[in-house]
A and B are shown apart, each in its own frame.
Chain A
């Protein structure tokens, strides 16, 4: 059973898992700070991919410039998203309404509405068919290591993900911004009382989360070469599942669960037809909610 093919699938699953992880972190950061689900995260991923594609087709710069451009556009998208879809619904600042159901559902639906608008606009501007990355930029150069063969894109995925995850850890644990993000996530009122600029922290959270999401989109665009307006939906849902499995506000948990999810999916597709692979994520989701309602790595939430 542990033949080369199987190991190959494991590696493929890992690279998919890292993509999900990059997206899941954005979800988790935003959920931790605002206690809301950002349904437009998949669109940020799409925007990242399109930013990369546009910069390649217009300027044809070296690869790292493409990455920087996509990250910058992603950060900008996150900023705009927060201003449009989330800011107007923070009219009430007390803790009760920050945690209240009505507020949470309002932002859930407003981000959903924004995601519809953005997706349709992209479809209007770029057309709904797939855009392909020029051959020179496609990271599909095969690299042979022993009996295993990798695409160079997989190395980019691993490299970029690890750099970004490490950078995120550093940011959250070692910098002023990270400290304020963690403070607001822990207790928004308390953070305001000790003089933390909550508004700026929330923007920072969205910018960081969206940068990671855009990075995921760009890498997938470069690796799979298929960029279309609805591309963010499936990975967005998977990342969401990973976040729930990880316990909603635990970043480490979300990353581990995203990787588990990616590996499980690609192993499943090696035994069953492609279509059933997508089912894995949802079965995991329902199983987790039934047997570990607080998530596999969730903290001690009293009610779910």
Chain B
């Protein structure tokens, strides 16, 4: 009962109230901001699975986001695939790249893994930038068809909003089920002590690769959404600074907490927009927010432990409310 109520409230907020407000305010600009926040929420949630839940700091998430965006853009402009095909295909291609590129780095831990993903992200960025014959290099790919279905609806701000919102909700559902299950507990065990987890019979390398592949899949989907909603992508959208922004969002929201990832994306992208009147100082404010939140809220705005029990209480599909502990099978 409580579960369906919380889900209903969130659904109404995302699919009725928010687009209603945006339509009344009537700002194409605010639609743009909201879809950007949605795309980054998907990115942050997916990076949170690797960096927060599995504990592998990734500094190259923007690279995988870029692979997804370029896959979708090239398929849509070259082969004229519609968005409902490019989205999953971009995700799958990115996941394959993720597995391929990450296989050799999976035995690295801690700072070494972070550095390796930084290198991978930069390699991807530089390849997108310099392989002019395939990706058109710094010119980017323009005139990417928007989110539209022949005969049903044309590309519009509202269509973009709903595409991003539905994808983000699906991502939150899938990643939430992953993170708040036995599987998520296994990932957390790997984060806390991988040797101990291995001695308990968990296949650490397989878990790491799986979580990385899931994260890459959703990063690719986010990239495809970005390509379709903006209509133009260039390698500049997928630089190291974007990876850092994603990481900052996770940290501000709380490492390992799924709602925190969304809150982080809303804050770090919404704040510069709200602070637009003070103009050039807004990036300084973003830096200051990041610094202060690390200083005073080291666990983030929504810390992992409190959020875990909250999520289980409100949405826990396998959580026994009567006993408050244990799992219904």
Interface residues of B in 276-302 (CB under 8 A from A): 280-281, 283-284, 286-288, 290-291, 294-295, 298
Point out the residues of chain B lying under 8 angstroms from A275, CB to CB: 126, 129-130
In the complex, the answer to whether A279 meets B248 with C-beta atoms within 8 Å is: no
Interface residues of B in 33-63 (CB under 8 A from A): 55, 57
In the complex, the answer to whether B109 meets A289 with C-beta atoms within 8 Å is: no
Given the known interface contacts A106-B298, A110-B295, the answer about A285 and B115 at a Cβ–Cβ threshold of 8 Å is yes
Query: Interface residue tally of chain B, by bracket?
Result: 35 or more
C-alpha spacing A110/B293, complex, angstroms: 9
In the complex, the answer to whether B290 meets A289 with C-beta atoms within 8 Å is: no
Point out the residues of chain A lying under 8 angstroms from B291, CB to CB: 85, 110, 113-114, 117
Point out the residues of chain A lying under 8 angstroms from B120, CB to CB: 282, 286
Point out the residues of chain B lying under 8 angstroms from A104, CB to CB: 110-111
Interface residue from B108, B123, B127 paired with A293 (Cβ < 8 Å): B108
Main secondary structure of the interface of A (DSSP, over half): helix
CB of A281, distance to nearest CB on chain B (Å)? 8
Is B104 engaged at the interface, CB distance under 8 Å to the other chain? yes
Interface residues of B in 5-43 (CB under 8 A from A): none
In the complex, the answer to whether A109 meets B112 with C-beta atoms within 8 Å is: no
Given the known interface contacts A282-B123, A289-B108, the answer about A113 and B294 at a Cβ–Cβ threshold of 8 Å is yes
In the complex, the answer to whether A120 meets B283 with C-beta atoms within 8 Å is: yes
Point out the residues of chain A lying under 8 angstroms from B118, CB to CB: 237, 285
Point out the residues of chain A lying under 8 angstroms from B284, CB to CB: 116-117, 120-121, 124
Query: Interface residue tally of chain A, by bracket?
Result: 35 or more
Is A166 engaged at the interface, CB distance under 8 Å to the other chain? no
Interface residue from B112, B287, B295 paired with A304 (Cβ < 8 Å): B112
C-alpha spacing A105/B59, complex, angstroms: 12
In the complex, the answer to whether A110 meets B294 with C-beta atoms within 8 Å is: yes
Interface residues of A in 215-244 (CB under 8 A from B): 233, 237, 240-241, 244
CB of A206, distance to nearest CB on chain B (Å)? 17
In the complex, the answer to whether B115 meets A244 with C-beta atoms within 8 Å is: yes
Is A5 engaged at the interface, CB distance under 8 Å to the other chain? no
The 5 A-B pairs with the shortest beta carbon distances in the complex, nearest first, are A116-B287, A113-B291, A117-B287, A275-B130, A285-B119
26 contacts between A and B (CB under 8 A): A89-B294, A101-B55, A104-B110, A109-B294, A110-B294, A113-B291, A116-B284, A116-B290, A117-B284, A117-B291, A120-B283, A123-B280, A124-B284, A237-B122, A241-B119, A248-B111, A275-B130, A276-B130, A279-B123, A282-B120, A282-B123, A285-B119, A289-B108, A289-B112, A289-B116, A293-B107
